[in-house]
Amino acid sequence: MSLLSDFIGEIREMFNTDSNKPLAHRVDIIISPNWLKIARKMIPGVKTEKDAIKFFKEYSKLAGEHTNGLITKDGLWDSSYHFIEFYSKDTGMRQIWSDFSKTFVREIEMRGFPLGHETDELEKKYTIQSYGTTSSFNDFLVINPEFIGYPKVLPDRSLLDEEKMSEIPFIGEMVRLLIQASEHTHSSMKAIKEFPARISKLMQEHNITYEAEGYFWNADMRAAGKPMEFEDEKWAEEVGIKRMENDVELHTFRSEYFTLSINVEVFNAG
């Protein structure tokens, strides 16, 4: 079970042990791999971003020839992945919708091969190694909210730490924090000025940056001509978070090889 699943389990338990807690939540999670950077790292013949763009253009052309011009999206490359998790206390039901798969899924995760079609011509030109080698771009890839990487050792295709290209290891904790924010202040989508010490440390260790996307200024801020700190309740001081008055559409975390955006909504299911 992933860390995210562990934290979601804690959230469900939190809802079920206090009748005054909100009855349901919706969590939108968008995972956007940096395909150009991944190609530059994993394909010896791709040295620059320009090389990577050229590679994917050539691949698209050859893939179209393989399918009589109708390119079927059976590889992972050139996609972002939007999942929506719903949880209801009334029913105890957890559902995860995948926009990419157009169906409900069991986990917030994508597994598969980046390229849907084998092309000997490209393998020779760009030196894409055979499956199982350390430099194979088209080896089996795992993408989830916490990490992205190529599993090569364990038979169940779970990843060792050294196989993870990028990590955002605190996402479950962040989701729980945003749900708590909604409980205490009726808003989980305020721009974050300062993170709790543990999350801040992990962001530094993993070179992760934060961006508040869809940044809105309210009338008071426009009148003051500057952002204003949000008056959080006591819980904020206890957990070590500081927020701004600005409402945001997404909390976005950027790592080297993928970006993760989240939106949390807590509401009364009745």
pLDDT digits (tens, 9 = 90+) for 172-186: 999 999 988 888 888
In the three-class reduction of DSSP (H, G, I as helix; E, B as strand; rest coil), residue 78 is classed as coil
Residue 26 inside a domain? The answer is no
Containing structural domain, residue 212: 3-20+169-256
Same domain, 146 and 200: no
Average pLDDT over residues 207-228: 73
Q: What does the pLDDT look like over 25-34, one tens digit per residue?
A: 899 999 999 9
Measured over the CA atoms of residue 119, residue 124, residue 126 and residue 132, the dihedral's sign is positive
Q: What does the pLDDT look like over 61-93, one tens digit per residue?
A: 877 665 554 445 568 988 999 999 998 877 888
The CA distance from 182 to 264, in Å, is 9
Is 213:263 a contact under the CB 8 Å cutoff? no
The CA distance from 139 to 129, in Å, is 9
Same domain, 45 and 137: yes
The CA distance from 236 to 118, in Å, is 52
Residue 267 inside a domain? The answer is no
Residue 27 inside a domain? The answer is no
Is 98:144 a contact under the CB 8 Å cutoff? no
Same domain, 58 and 161: yes
pTM for this model (two decimals):
0.85
The CA distance from 254 to 203, in Å, is 10
Instruction: Give the total number of structural domains in the chain.
Output: 2
Same domain, 224 and 191: yes
Percent of residues, the chain, with pLDDT higher than 70? 77
Same domain, 237 and 112: no
Same domain, 142 and 187: no
Q: Which of the listed residues 132, 167, 202 is the one where a domain comes to its end?
A: 167
- Which carries the bigger pLDDT value, residue 237 or residue 73? 237
Same domain, 184 and 226: yes
State the pLDDT at residue 82: 97
Same domain, 213 and 229: yes
Residue 179 inside a domain? The answer is yes
Q: Which of the listed residues 124, 150, 167 is the one where a domain comes to its end?
A: 167
Same domain, 53 and 173: no
Residue 125 inside a domain? The answer is yes
Q: Which of the listed residues 143, 167, 191 is the one where a domain comes to its end?
A: 167
State the pLDDT at residue 222: 59
Same domain, 54 and 156: yes
Same domain, 113 and 178: no
Strands (E), the chain: 24-33, 81-88, 93-98, 103-105, 110-112, 141-143, 147-149, 164-167, 190-194, 209-213, 242-247, 250-254, 258-267
Give the pLDDT band of residue 245 (cuts 50, 70, 90). confident
Residue 239 inside a domain? The answer is yes
Segment holding 65, helix H or strand E = helix 49-66
Same domain, 158 and 182: no
